[in-house]
């Protein structure tokens, strides 16, 4: 698993690259979690990837459970996707004019997600969530929005908010550079807390434009919104004329072919969100995201309606080719059954070997997304996630990294299994975990 023999002499090590990077890029990274701040140590600089593996600048190979933070559901370098991207690139990188392929991708997504009748393509999850928020406000004529502690919806100003001192007060920015006035309309609740939901609607119901939620929260590792909680949320939104926004940037086409909303629709008859946000898998590793809703809502967008939204690279022809090829592959019969079984085998395997060594570990998964916690039971909200054993996680992370297994470098991030992971990689991972748990 750990082959250093191909280390190319004369090239820079991870540590040297990190030093060089820090001179020209803040923190040496283009997105903070890549810097390993939560776990300490030197980030691995990735030179290339193949199937379920990533290979760093020193030639060390790792089983990859990050998958570019979700998009690589087929693993790296899937032949059908590579071919589609290469073909598209030959035809041109970007035109700034409509193409047939973006229509095809929109049709493909809409076919799989019946709650949406139209969508618009953008380039990142942040952009999709920010645009969907503007649309919800524009369509309802209301200003207030509700989000949940521990859910991340990209870094639009209005969504970088943590809870204030109470529900009657508004949240505080989680980032410098966000004026308090910009978040004065954002209310932050505890995830899975039914009383707070009732209270916020009792206090502000007539002013709430939308409630945005990660249905399975992957930005606090892996926490499911309980079905009764989701049912209550849906009912309150309907009763008060607020829109329910599902942020499926992570869960979309990852936890099920119909995304997380299809799981809630199975449990709650007639369930649908009003607006949905997608990213990651729909681009297959290229910058692509989308937001969509019923036609009447989407027609509030420019050029038809008063809500402005635009993008130079939106619906990019190479990115749409990559996304389309990915979406076609995941529709093959049995794809999600096989992916789900493999992911379940990983989580069950980790929990079993942890128990054998007396380490408390709880895990959960859905489709190709999973989480595990150094705790006796699964946390239900952000506070409980942050109360799990961080020190143990960090030691486990580094032990596994040394053994050639790359989990997310923070205890509050979800993990991802791809279709390229075979029983062999799962077995190797569980075997490495058994040794690492024993050394904790």
Ligand X SMILES: Cc1ncc(COP(=O)(O)O)c(C=O)c1O
List residues near ligand X by CB under 6 A: 69, 124-126, 129, 152-154, 214, 218-219, 247, 249-250, 279, 289
CB of 260 to ligand X, least distance (A): 10
Q: Which of 56, 144, 191, 247 is catalytic?
A: 247
> Is the CB of 282 or the CB of 345 nearer to ligand X?
282
Please report how close the Cβ of residue 128 comes to ligand X at its closest, in angstroms. 7
Q: Residue 348 in contact with residue 417, Cβ under 8 Å?
A: no
Query: What minimum distance in Å lies between the beta carbon of 216 and ligand X?
Result: 10
Q: What angle do CA 198, 238, 153 make, to 5 degrees?
A: 75
Closer of 148 and 437 to ligand X (Cβ): 148
Active-site position among 152, 191, 382, 412: 152
CB of 421 to ligand X, least distance (A): 21
- Name which of 78 and 153 has its Cβ closer to ligand X: 153
Which residue among 56, 280, 364, 412 is the active-site one? 280
Pairing of β 208-213 and β 144-148? parallel
In sequence order, what DSSP letters do the residues of 97-144 get, joined into one string?
S--HHHHHHHHHHHHH-TT-SEEEEES-HHHHHHHHHHHHHHHHT--E
Position of minimal CB gap to ligand X: 125
Contact criterion met (CB below 8 Å) for 395 and 411? no
Residue 435 annotated as catalytic: no
Q: Where are the alpha helices (DSSP H) in 158-312?
A: 194-204, 227-240, 259-267, 295-298
> H or E segment at 275?
strand 275-278
Q: Pick the closer one to ligand X by CB: 233 or 249.
A: 249
How far is residue 286 from each of residues 97, 142, 250, 293, 322, measured CA to CA in Å?
Answer: 19, 34, 14, 23, 7
Return the bridge partners of 370, or none: 365, 415
Closest to ligand X by CB, 219 vs 388, is 219
CA 177 to chain centre: 24
The distance of closest approach from Cβ of residue 294 to ligand X in the complex, given in angstroms and rounded to an integer, is 21
Query: In this structure, are residues 153 and 147 in contact, taking their beta carbons and an 8 Å threshold?
Result: yes
Supply the residues annotated as catalytic: 152, 247, 280
């Amino acid at each position: 698993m750990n082959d250093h023999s191909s280390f190319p002499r004369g090239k820079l090590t991870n540590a040297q690259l990190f030093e060089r990077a820090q001179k020209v890029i803040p923190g040496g990274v283009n997105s903070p979690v890549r810097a390993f701040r939560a776990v300490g140590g030197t980030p691995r600089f990735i030179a290339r990837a193949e199937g379920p593996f990533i290979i760093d600048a020193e030639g060390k190979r790792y089983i990859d459970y990050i998958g570019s933070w979700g998009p690589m559901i087929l693993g790296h370098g899937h032949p059908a996707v590579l071919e589609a991207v290469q073909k598209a690139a030959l035809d041109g990188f970007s035109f700034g004019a409509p193409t047939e392929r973006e229509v095809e991708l929109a049709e493909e997504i809409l076919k799989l997600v019946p709650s949406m009748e139209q969508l618009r393509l953008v380039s990142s999850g942040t952009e999709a969530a920010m645009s969907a928020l503007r649309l919800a406000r524009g369509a309802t004529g209301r200003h207030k929005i509700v989000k949940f502690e521990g859910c991340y919806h990209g870094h639009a100003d209005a969504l970088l908010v943590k809870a204030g001192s109470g529900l009657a007060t508004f949240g505080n920015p989680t980032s410098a550079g966000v004026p308090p006035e910009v978040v004065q309309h954002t209310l932050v609740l505890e995830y899975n807390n039914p009383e707070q939901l009732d209270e916020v609607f009792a206090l502000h119901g007539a002013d709430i434009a939308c409630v945005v939620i990660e249905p399975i929260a992957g930005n606090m590792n892996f926490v499911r919104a309980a079905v009764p909680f989701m049912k209550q949320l849906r009912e309150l939104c309907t009763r008060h004329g607020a829109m329910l926004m599902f942020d499926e940037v992570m869960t979309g086409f990852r936890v099920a072919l119909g995304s997380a909303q299809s799981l809630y629709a199975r449990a709650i008859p007639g369930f649908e969100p009003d607006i949905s946000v997608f990213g990651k898998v729909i681009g297959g590793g290229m910058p692509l995201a989308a937001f969509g809703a019923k036609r009447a809502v989407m027609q509030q967008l420019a050029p038809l309606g008063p809500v402005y939204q635009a993008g130079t690279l939106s619906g990019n022809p190479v990115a749409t080719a990559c996304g389309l090829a990915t979406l076609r592959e995941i529709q093959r019969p049995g794809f999600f059954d096989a992916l789900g079984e493999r992911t379940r085998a990983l989580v069950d395997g980790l929990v079993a070997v942890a128990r054998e060594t007396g380490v408390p570990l709880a895990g959960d998964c859905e489709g190709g997304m999973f989480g595990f916690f150094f705790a006796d039971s699964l946390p239900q909200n952000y506070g409980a996630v942050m109360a799990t054993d961080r020190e143990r996680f960090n030691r486990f992370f580094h032990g596994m990294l040394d053994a050639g297994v790359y989990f997310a470098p923070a205890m509050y991030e979800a993990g991802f299994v791809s279709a390229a992971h075979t029983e062999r990689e799962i077995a190797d991972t569980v075997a490495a975990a058994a040794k690492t748990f024993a050394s904790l």
